[in-house]
Amino acid sequence: MTEYVKLIIGDKTYQFPVVTGSEGEKAIDISNLRQMTGYITLDPGFVNTGSCESAITYMDGEKGILRYRGIPIEELAEHSTFREVAYLLINGVLPTYKEINRFSVMLNDHSLVHEDMRKFFENFPRASHPMGILSSMVTTLISFYPYLESTEEEINMTVTRLISKVRTLAAISYKISRGHNVVYPRHDFSYCANFLNMMFDSPVKPYQIDEDIVRALNVFLILHADHEQNCSTSAVRVVGSARVNPYATVSAGIAALWGPLHGGANQEVIKMLYDIKERGATVKQMIEKAKDKNDPFRLMGFGHRVYKTYDPRAKIMKKMCDKVLEKLEKPDPLLDIAKDLEEAALNDEYFISHHLYPNVDFYSGIILRAIGIPTNMFTVMFAMGRLPGWIAQWRESMEDPKWKITRPRQIYMGPKKTEYTPIQERK
């Protein structure tokens, strides 16, 4: 039996159906609100607005739950690989041996990028941010690899190209920014091992693959693979709603991710920790600064728009961070500061009452530093991880029978009708 919500405007009563998700989430379907009443809703930041129905990712911010296609993130981080998670997100099910082997072969077959693309890389100014380069180059891919949508096989080929080539483009952008020769992908390496080798191998110092580091990178990418309708994913869906090709759609996601309040947050955490270290400030002093309403300082890596408890990804990242640092025998003073900040915040009533718990960005920057990833590449790493989620969201929206081009309304607050004044009469 359908549940309804009543809306009373003046002497008229309207009914709107309640939609219930598979995990019990409830939403009021107001898709006919303006048609029925002449009213629209006002919801800055879309905090209370569901933009779509989706079967990809489930989050419960109050309970600290994150699942991909129903599978808890803790289990995927413990047992899976990034390739397998990418397949799961895009196709809806975990792959069989045959399916993952075919997917792996396709990733290898499409890992090279056209040699002419190197000319674009080489003509970017050396100071260019890697995210700007990556966004531009992903859009450029369609010139070399046109998007064909006539068959399922062709769509799968485009999807696989994106996942494979974005990894290669990211590594190339790093190498060229340092003035080093480009390292090509190898057929005998896994997805993450290939990326690390393309990043750090050189003729004078061959890169030695460490399976623990490969595992750490897998976990990092898995934890970032999707996160419901966040800023960049919403950008992908909005752009994709115009039936834009997946290259341009993903490029839009990369541009949105670039922001310091979204994908750039882990980079901001490192900057904050480094600043604390350089100033010689104590953890107690920084906690008090963060609590001072008149002080613009804020602790980066604490709190989350959705999670009102400990970010489940942060717990996993913290364990992996400790393991990697112990393996590499690289004591990091920034990690010591981070741990002290975390302990102090988790025992401070102000942080507890305001739900300011550590999020995934708090530890991800430390682990990337330990692996050797430069700070300006942190957001690129985030983009690599989020790519399967963007593709899954784009694909789901393309197949949605309720599809509509995204076109939000607004409440106009400007001047009323004003007569045009000729320029010679203007004061």
117 inside domain: yes
The DSSP code for 57 is E
Are 79 and 197 within one domain?
A: yes
249 inside domain: yes
417 inside domain: no
Percent of the chain with pLDDT over 90: 63
One-letter amino acid for residue 229 of the chain: Q
The encoded tokens of residue 265 equal 């947050």
Catalytic residue ranges: 304, 361
Phi, psi dihedrals of residue 115, rounded to the nearest 5°:
-60, -30
Which is more confident, 235 or 356?
235
One-letter amino acid for residue 361 of the chain: D
Are 359 and 247 within one domain?
A: no
Are 356 and 278 within one domain?
A: yes
Are 210 and 299 within one domain?
A: no
Are 248 and 269 within one domain?
A: no
Domain that holds residue 354: 265-371
Q: Identify the pLDDT of residue 281.
A: 84
Alpha helices in 14-147 (DSSP H): 33-37, 73-79, 82-91, 97-109, 117-123, 130-144
At a CB cut-off of 8 Å and minimum separation 6, what does 44 contact? none
Which candidate, 44, 73, 4, 118, places its Cα nearest to that of 315? 73
Over the stretch 319-371, which tens digit does the pLDDT of each residue have? 998 888 888 877 778 878 888 888 888 888 888 888 888 888 888 988 898 89
d(CA 27, CA 19): 5
Are 198 and 272 within one domain?
A: no
123 inside domain: yes
DSSP notation for 279-346 = HT--HHHHHHHHH-TT-----TTB--SS-SS--HHHHHHHHHHHHHHHHHT---HHHHHHHHHHHHHH
Are 273 and 332 within one domain?
A: yes
208 inside domain: yes
Among the ranges given (194-208, 253-267, 296-310), the one the predictor scored with the smallest mean pLDDT: 296-310
One-letter amino acid for residue 46 of the chain: F
Average pLDDT over residues 25-38: 95
Which candidate, 355, 391, 109, places its Cα nearest to that of 237? 391
Are 120 and 247 within one domain?
A: yes
d(CA 44, CA 47): 7
Measured in residues, the chain has a length of 427
32 inside domain: yes
Are 258 and 293 within one domain?
A: no
Over the stretch 271-306, which tens digit does the pLDDT of each residue have? 899 889 888 888 888 888 888 888 888 888 888 888
Query: How far apart are the two ends of the chain, measured CA to CA in Å?
Result: 65
Name the most confidently modeled range: 267-276, 303-312, 408-417.
408-417
Residue with tokens 């699942």: 67
Residue 301's domain is classified under what CATH number? 1.10.230.10
Measure the CA angle with vertex 175, ends 170 and 181; round to 5°. Answer: 130
Mean pLDDT of the chain: 92
Are 366 and 394 within one domain?
A: no
210 inside domain: yes
Query: Please, which residues bridge with residue 1 across strands?
Result: none
Residue with tokens 């629209």: 40
Are 346 and 296 within one domain?
A: yes
Q: Identify the pLDDT of residue 378.
A: 93
Residue 257, pLDDT > 80, answer yes
The DSSP code for 423 is G
Count of CA atoms in the C-beta half-sphere (13 A) of 319: 10
The encoded tokens of residue 73 equal 């993130």
Contact 383, 131 (CB under 8 A): yes
Are 160 and 244 within one domain?
A: yes
Residue 170, pLDDT > 80, answer yes
Residue 13's domain is classified under what CATH number? 2.20.28.60
Contact 121, 176 (CB under 8 A): yes
Over the stretch 98-112, which tens digit does the pLDDT of each residue have? 999 999 999 999 999
The encoded tokens of residue 25 equal 């989430």
Encode burial over 151-172: b for 16+ CB neighbours within 10 A, e otherwise: eeeebbbbbbbbbbbbbbbbbb
Average pLDDT over residues 389-409: 94
Among the ranges given (19-23, 67-71, 170-174, 212-216), the one the predictor scored with the smallest mean pLDDT: 170-174
Residue with tokens 């480094």: 274
In the chain, the number of structural domains is 3
110 inside domain: yes
Query: Cα dist. 236→149, 152, 248, 393 in Å?
Result: 18, 21, 9, 8
Residue 106's domain is classified under what CATH number? 1.10.580.10
